[in-house]
A and B are shown apart, each in its own frame.
Chain A
Amino acid sequence: MRYLALPLLSQNLTESTARAQTLSLYLQLSLQVSLSQRNESTMSSSSSSLPSCPKKVVTLKSSEGETFEIEEIAALQSKTLENMIDENCADTPIPLPNIKGKILAKVVEYCNKHAEVGVDAESLRAWDAEFVNVENTTVFDYILAANFLEIPTLLDLTCQSVADMIKGKTPAEIEKTFNIKSAFTPEEEEQVRRENQWAFE
């Protein structure tokens, strides 16, 4: 508030002058008050940190049509969603036709957890370990979702858990565990094996 020019009230003032000056003082005061009120209202509409304003939320739609809400701040972990938010395409529900509802729910959960503040590294690691402690097919679905939505932390976490499953297994065992179909022909396999004989000794 700027300083108000206070009229000097001296004994020599006539009554009418005093009245005029008091009125002008009140006018200035009311002007100041209405100005500061306007300032406050413009501030509150632009700032999103005031508790009375709703947090921005992004809606995602799974392949079956189910919708899931995720706070913008958590959605920023997905580069795909971040780009959409930047280009203002995130105001309507975003369809994700290749992610099932069950998986999308868990991905939203992951993003929410990793957007939280004040979680210590140890407990987050433990939470992550639990998150990937699921069936193989579910992990692959997480991988596909993380790849599509470009969530690097989730992609690394899930790929690491698959790597841990592969470690120490022979190609035949890996084929069997993961039901892989496109194997080599015997000639191809022989040639490739010869090139890297040392790994099988």
Chain B
Amino acid sequence: MDDLPVEVIGNILSQLKAARDVVVASMTCRKWREAWKKHLRSLSFDSNDWHRQHDISTSSLEILITQTIFQTRGLRCLSISMEDADEFSAAPVIAWLMYTRDTLRELCYNVRTHPNINILERCGRQKLEVLKLAHTSIMGVEPSYQKFPHLTSLSLSFVSVSALDLSLLLSICPRIESLALINPDITMSDPQATMELTSHSLKEIHVKTISLDKFLLEADNLQNLHLRDCNLEVFELIGKEALRVLKMDDVSIMHLDISESMENLEVVDFANFTVMWPKFYHMISKSSKLRTLRLWGVVQDEEVEAMDLETISDCFPRLSHLALSYDLGDGVLNHCLQGSSNLENVVVLELGWTIISNRFSAWVAGLLERCPRLKKLIIFVRVSEVKTEDEYGMLGSFTTSMVPLMRKYMEVEVQFEFE
């Protein structure tokens, strides 16, 4: 250990991240102290670490963070997360940002300050590659002199920002690849709640908990789109054959318009997704490269038919992972199992239900027959909160019916997961 050069010790201390651990370790010996002073790259302060110490005042926190940061040099990653703490005063926070401005590549900032600090003004924009902000607000983005030339990853969590400022912010990040918007508070000047985002370099976007009249996303190189807990009247996506992964979780979109060929789509993962299904089926029917398809608890209108196996096998010859949770109402079972073409490449099958029915075992049997290369079957057993006699009965008979099936398909590994 003594042979390790001081820069390497700096690397080891940087991997510790939590400030307390780093400070304690640096006390070990002179060389480690030097590593801490000159070669520390990464430091993290998390208010959760101080829970053990009851009632440490905010001013004490301000003092110890300032003291610690100012003992280091050349810090590249700084993370300050004061989720549970009261408001800090602006002066020390500004000092931390200014001190690390020239070398910082990653900043995670979750600090409430009084008065509010314009983080975009204060942080070093030249070298920053990753920026994660939480519980703060962004205002007055100035494209004329503000630029983030190296920013590749931006995450805004519980951040208050105007729709205009958000779209300006994207425009000043010419290399941005990953954007996460979590519970944003988008303030609008228009009576119509519209968000328009344009980025040529964006590869993945993750939006959680948002409710808008219109969301327009123009991203030529978008590969990964993930929406969660979103309520959108109109969602327009303008892409260019780069989309690979599409995930919707608890999402409702009234009018969906995707100008993307969908030809390179590999993963479609929908859970509790409300959309105009016929239009959507038409859109993904050209995704012949699809490997994973998950249609879980997708709301079915009376008039809309569930995607049947014949269509699935025709449209997606390369499908290897299929997960379906349909409500097997009258006629749905027969409709879905119609035809005889097999799902030749499916190796993993996940099946579940929202309401158990007697038809489920026939459904499982039918699917097992149509997946000749199946290796793994996972059954998601959902037991409702109000358990009736009927439900117990159906669960029992379903379990019993699974036994001969498992015997028949010995090569298939079967797993049961209870929800």
Contact = CB atoms under 8 A, between A and B. Distances in A.
B319 to A, nearest CB: 18
Contact of B27 (A155, A167, A189, A201): A189
Nearest to A180: B29
Contacts of A174: 25, 28
A47 interface: no
Contacts of B67: 195-196
Interface in B19-52: 19-21, 23-25, 27-33
A199 B50 CA distance: 10
B12 A171 contact: no
A193 interface: yes
Contacts of A159: 8, 11-12, 14-15
A142 to B, nearest CB: 11
B27 A163 contact: no
Contacts of A64: none
B30 to A, nearest CB: 6
A21 to B, nearest CB: 52
B311 interface: no
A198 B64 contact: yes
Interface residues of A, number: 36
Given A178-B1, A182-B30, A193-B27, A201 B12 contact: no
Contacts of B30: 182-184, 188
B4 A144 contact: yes
Interface of A is mostly: helix
Contacts of B2: 179-182
B129 to A, nearest CB: 16
Interface size bracket, B side: 20 to 34
Given A163-B12, A166-B12, A167-B16, A184 B4 contact: no
A69 interface: no
A171 B8 contact: no
Contact of A196 (B21, B23, B31): B23
A163 B24 contact: no
Interface in A151-199: 155-156, 159-160, 162-163, 166-171, 174-175, 178-184, 188-189, 192-193, 195-196, 198-199
B28 A175 contact: yes
Contacts of B8: 143-144, 147, 155, 159
A163 B14 CA distance: 8
Nearest to B71: A195
B21 A140 contact: no
Contacts of B27: 171, 184, 189, 192-193, 196
30 contacts: A143-B4, A144-B3, A147-B4, A147-B5, A147-B8, A155-B8, A159-B11, A160-B15, A163-B15, A166-B12, A166-B21, A166-B25, A167-B21, A171-B25, A175-B28, A178-B1, A179-B1, A179-B2, A180-B2, A180-B32, A181-B29, A182-B31, A184-B30, A184-B33, A188-B30, A192-B33, A196-B27, A196-B67, A196-B68, A198-B60
Given A193-B27, A199-B20, 12 more contacts: A140-B4, A147-B7, A155-B8, A155-B11, A162-B12, A162-B15, A180-B28, A182-B30, A183-B28, A188-B30, A195-B67, A201-B53
Interface of B: 1-5, 7-8, 11-16, 18-21, 23-25, 27-33, 53, 60, 64, 67-68, 71
Interface of A: 136, 140, 143-144, 147, 155-156, 159-160, 162-163, 166-171, 174-175, 178-184, 188-189, 192-193, 195-196, 198-201
